[in-house]
Structure 1
């Protein structure tokens, strides 16, 4: 009787041990899956970070170029404004001279 109980207990312990080994194997497989997923995630995010860094550098270069071109445009605009004022003054002086010449020519007749 005791031998039978001992064998039954041994069988139960062996079954539990077998179940624990299966559980351990499943946990290892799950761990491997997570590790593989994390490696893939890091690789894909690494590529994404590289692309973001590349676009950031390009944007910085474009901003620097745009800043220089804006400064140049402001200088050109200032020069153009000065030229317009100079031309308007010249036209006004010519108009006054024409009025004087025409006035004196009409007054002489």
Structure 2
């Protein structure tokens, strides 16, 4: 499964991405247009699957995984190429996670 993380700048998209994937990426510089997307994978462990693997004596058990795409926000009036890149990274996602900022931001209010 592939999930795209979207939201306004400073909303906590990369912070959420880091928490879900166990990565430690630096958050974007406020006011600077970031380019590209961060991609990470989180394993979804399931004890039931491990149990079934033991019962049926399977040498290899493959757990589910979720791929997260932390997409940089495209500013209004930004370059057309960035908008196209945004869509090309987000389009294949099975679902979108919209991060909404619920705190005061020093730059965005």
Question: TM-score, normalising length from structure 2?
Answer: 0.21
Structure of greater relative contact order (alpha carbons < 8 Å, 6+ residues apart): 2
* Greater share of residues in helix: 1
